[in-house]
Structures are given as structure tokens and as C-alpha cells.
Amino acid sequence: MTAPFGERLADAVAARGPLCVGIDPHVALLEAWGLSDDPDGLARFTDAVVDALAGSVAVLKPQLAFYERHGSRGLAVLEDAVARARAAGALVLLDAKRGDIGSTMDAYGDYLRPEHPLAVDAMTVSPYLGPRSLQPAVDTARQCGGGLFVLARTSNPDAGTFQHATTGERSVAQVVVDTVRGWNTPGWVVGDPLPDIGAVRDLASRFGPTTGSFGVVVGATLSEMDVELDGLGGPILAPGLGAQGGSVADLRRLFGTDRAVVPTVSRHVLAAGPDPAALRAAAERWTRELAA
């Protein structure tokens, strides 16, 4: 069994910095690169990003939808890219946002199995059908050393419609965070009382050898932090830097400096392509700014 995702992520961040670069080959970006909106253009785009960045950034995050829209040939491009990115030392976080029940969720979790043709290190999932719905993916992640990032407090304009709704005395977003905190607590299962924050505080606060493999997605463009993240025990995926308006200052404002935060940049790096040196330089600028 491979080392748990949380440990591998901590090692990658220590060696390369925390930057996660999204691979989002949408139509406008393909056109900006002078590429055709077909599997051939998709392959040229993806190969350029992987070749330029997989040897230096900690995490690459391909958006599955942009590959699925090209059918089986698009998925073949992604399958090859994932294998090459991991071989070059980058962790691959599949941005799939899957969420279902029973055997269907179990099948989605197979992306985390090493024998899967599109095996990745971690994936994003949606908790809308309830915490028990994600248990098959949690079980697979534990068995195979994979990771999950659960949508919790996103920063799209109408996210609060659902995420600010309350169940008991907690918002839905807080229930998601608390559930993930439970997954990072040894011996806890859905249905048990949620563990006390103090009991798992030693797993939280910063990257380290005990960082859990289960994280949450919290946007870097929130006007204020309205969920309690103490004791999460795992990493926070923070999208929104660059084109969406988020900055390194926002990361510090929202998360402080002692949390395991993985900031995500997509368009501000990808817009530098297709020149490989320009792509690397754009990623390196973000890495330096995050380190500073």
C-alpha cells in the first residue's frame, strides 16, 4: 500500500511549495493557444502543460469535464497525461466533483485505485447527498492511500443559498467541515458524535507527517471566513487565485499562516502558454509569492 495521500502531499509541498495548477482546457483557452477544439488540440494543450509543470509543481488538477466533452479520445488524452504527470513527481488531483450513493459512488472512488487506468492521487467530491453517500470513496481512499477534497464553502456568488442553510445550530458548510474532521480522526465513523476539536488539533494547523488525507474546498475569494476550520486534520484546497480575483493576501486573511492550504491557480498560469518556459515562469512566480 502506498503512503497515505496526506503524507505524500506534505512531502510534495515541502519539496516544491504548495501551488496547485488547474488544467482547464476550455474552448477559449484552446483558441488563445491557437489550437483546435478537438482531441488533437486537447492533446497538444495537455502535453504542453504536463511537460512544462509536472516536474516542478506539487499538484496538477485536471478538470474532468473538459476531457469528457471530447468523448473517449478526450479521456485517452487525460489517461496518458495523468500517468506522465505522476511519473514526473506531481500529485494529480482529479477535479471531478462526484457525488452519488451506493455502488455508483463506489465506482467513482475507483479513480483512487492504483490499478485503475486513470488512477489519481486524490479527487474532489460533492457532499450534497449526505455524509454516508461518500463513505464508499472514503473507504477506497483509506485502502489505497488516496485523498478526497469535499466541497464545503465555495465562493461562487450563490453558494450561500445552500451552504449557509442550517441544520440544527450549524450551517451546511460547517457540517461538511466537521464530517471531514471526523474522517481524519482515527476510529471515527459517520453516525458517531463528532470528535472534539481538541482531540485532533495535533493533526491540524500545518503540513506534517500526521496530516490527514481528507480535506475541504474553501474559496480564496470569500469576503470573510464563516466556517470553523480548527482541528480539520487535513488540507484545504483554496481555488480562486488570479483570474477570479483572489490573492496571497486573501489566503493569509482567510486561513492565517499555520494551516495546510493548497492554493489553486489556473488561468493566470495557463494564459502564459503555449511556450513551456513561459508556463514554468508563471508557475514559479506564484510559488515565490506564496513562499514569501
Note whether 201 and 220 are within 8 A (CB): no
Region 188-209 average pLDDT:
54
pLDDT surpasses 90 at 43: yes
* Distances from the Cα of 133 to the Cα of 21, 107, 138, 285, angstroms: 29, 12, 10, 40
Predicted pLDDT at 204 = 41
pLDDT > 90: percent of the chain: 83
Region 183-204 average pLDDT:
62
Our count of domains for the chain comes to 1
Segments forming the whole domain that contains residue 52: 5-291
- The alpha helices in the chain, defined as continuous H runs, are 5-16, 27-32, 39-53, 64-68, 71-87, 102-109, 135-144, 160-163, 172-183, 197-200, 248-255, 267-270, 276-291
Least confident of 95-104, 185-194, 251-260: 185-194
Predicted pLDDT at 246 = 87
Q: For 46, list phi and psi in degrees, rounded to 5.
A: -65, -40
Peptide bond into 239 cis (omega under 30): no
Q: What does the radius of gyration of the chain's CA atoms come to, in whole angstroms? A: 18
pLDDT surpasses 90 at 68: yes
pLDDT surpasses 70 at 63: yes
Three-state SS letters, 61-100? EEEHHHHHCCHHHHHHHHHHHHHHHHHCCCEEEEEEEECC
Distance (Å, whole) CA 118 – CA 104: 17
pLDDT surpasses 50 at 122: yes
Q: Which of the residues are catalytic?
A: 97
pLDDT surpasses 50 at 88: yes
pLDDT in tens, 198-207: 544 444 444 4
pLDDT surpasses 80 at 209: no
Q: Could you tell me whether strands 170-171 and 166-167 are parallel, antiparallel, or unpaired per DSSP bridges?
A: antiparallel
pTM of this prediction? 0.93
Region 128-150 average pLDDT:
96
CATH number at residue 16: 3.20.20.70
Between 65 and 200, the more confident residue is 65
Predicted pLDDT at 195 = 59
Mean pLDDT (the chain) is 92
